[in-house]
Amino acid sequence: MSKRKRSAQAAAEDSHDPQHNAFLPQKRHYRQRAHANPFSDHALSYPSSPRACNWDALYPAFAGSSKTPEFADVGCGFGGLLIALAPLFPDTLILGLEIRVQVSQYVHDRIAALRATSTPSAATAQASPGPYQNISIVRANSMKFMPNYFRKHSLSALFFLFPDPHFKSRKHKARIISPTLLAEYAYVLRPGGIVYTITDVHDLHEWMKAHLNAFPLFEPISEETLRAEGKGAILDAVYTSTEEGKKVERSQGEKWLACFKRVEIMRE
């Protein structure tokens, strides 16, 4: 696709953004490659441990509350899920992790603009700090530094939405779901917490399901069960909020969802 066509497509996406207004950053000014190699050297700064995370800087409205993120969107892209979940869980801190420089900067600027231009309703003005104060982003390589950000059993939800499929067999080691990485996800996810995965690539869907099914600390949980437990709004956001999900809908493609619950192994 030519630069001119990409710019036109980005402008069209901006105009259809439900949060679009003149004060928000525009995607067309933050474009870069669709994917990044997680094994390449990246100029990243990261905390030495979760204790070193300055959450007050990322969530200033919650400063002094001792709150830490409970939801993590791994490879959050342009932040669609963060924006969708923010008003649904105003007292829950939600963190996006994104490795690409321009994309993570866009999400940072988008959140800052939304915080500055949104005002709380009368009903919520005293109950919560205000719209979009509960979401933030860090530029991070989740495959390498996930335990640097999250304490053991600190998360209740992990999202892997339309991850890079790495189609070639020699690149499957770069897929975000693997036995080694699942050990880290099980470490940071509390028992009862949910891993949400969705993709438009059936092979990747089967790959993620197979690895999660084989891991002893995860068990599949159906969409029907999750909706019965009151997580329907989360699932709706998983299906429809991301840029990738919207592209699949426009092309009338298919999406495959798979969710897993973190279980506790009982020792005899």
Catalytic residues: 164
Query: What Rg do the C-alpha atoms of the chain give, in angstroms?
Result: 18
Q: How many CA atoms lie within 13 A of 194 on its CB side?
A: 19
Q: Does 244 belong to an annotated binding site?
A: yes
- Going by C-alpha positions, the residue among 255, 252, 99, 40 that lies closest to residue 162 is 255
Cα separation, 97 vs 95, whole angstroms: 7
Q: Which two tokens stand for residue 98?
A: 């994104």
For the chain, helix (H) and strand (E) counts, in that order, are 10, 7
Q: Does 96 belong to an annotated binding site?
A: no
**What's phi and psi for 58, nearest 5 deg?**
-80, -30
Q: Does 184 belong to an annotated binding site?
A: no
Residue 155, beta-bridge partner list: 189
**What's phi and psi for 177, nearest 5 deg?**
-105, 115
Q: Does 243 belong to an annotated binding site?
A: yes
Q: What residues contact residue 69 under an 8 Å CB cut-off, 6+ apart? A: 55, 93, 94, 95, 149, 150, 154, 155
**What's phi and psi for 242, nearest 5 deg?**
-85, 155
Q: Does 242 belong to an annotated binding site?
A: yes
248, 240 Cβ separation under 8 angstroms? no
The alpha helices in 118-201, defined as continuous H runs, are 142-149, 179-188
Q: How far is CA 185 from the centre of its chain?
A: 14
**Binding site membership for S-adenosyl-L-methionine: which residues?**
75, 98-99, 141-142, 161, 242-244
